[in-house]
Amino acid sequence: MSQTDNKRVAIVTGAFRGIGAEFARRLAKEGFAVAITYASSAKEAEALAAELGTESIAVKADVANPDDVKCMFETVEARLGRVAVLINNAGVLKTMSLADTSDALFNQTFDINVRGTTRCAKQRRA
């Protein structure tokens, strides 16, 4: 059995700040190799990965994009090993009245918060 076969691997989507960062820190403390994903905050994600140590990586992935989700899992599994834990933390929340919510904002929110979560969960099972 190789070293990667014994390693517990977790992905935390949108983990570069807030509760996602705390999930990542806790998982690392518990001995997991952690993949911190981000769509646009590379600097913050890379800083958190560095804080967590050599068993953690930052991976660019927009969960609203099916190709990004597939590539995210492929990258994590190639670099860290098979994913055991998935924390679907990526999400957006822009509070405003329904009347002020554009179709584009609604679609973005739904794509990230609902479709992105579903894509990640389905890819985890693949």
Q: What is the pLDDT of residues 2-31, one digit of tens each?
A: 444 578 999 999 988 899 999 999 999 999
CATH number of the domain enclosing 41? 3.40.50.720
Q: What range does the domain containing 47 cover?
A: 3-125
Q: What's residue 7's pLDDT?
A: 83
Q: At what angle do helices 18-29 and 42-52 cross, to 10 degrees?
A: 20
End-to-end CA distance of the chain: 22
Report residue 126's pLDDT band, with 50, 70 and 90 as the boundaries: low
Residue 56 · residue 49 · CB < 8 Å: yes
Q: Which of 82, 78, 59, 79 is nearest to 69 (CA)?
A: 59
Helix (H, G, I), strand (E, B) or coil at 31: coil
Task: Say if residue 65's pLDDT is above 60.
Answer: yes
Spatial distance between the Cα atoms of 18 and 44, rounded to a whole number of angstroms: 11
Q: What's residue 4's pLDDT?
A: 46
Spatial distance between the Cα atoms of 28 and 35, rounded to a whole number of angstroms: 10
Spatial distance between the Cα atoms of 18 and 15, rounded to a whole number of angstroms: 7
Q: Which of 91, 88, 114, 92 is nearest to 101 (CA)?
A: 92
Residue type, 109: T
What is the mean pLDDT of the segment spanning 40-44?
93
Domain count, the chain: 1
Residue type, 104: A
Q: What's residue 5's pLDDT?
A: 53
Q: What's residue 125's pLDDT?
A: 66
Residue type, 98: L
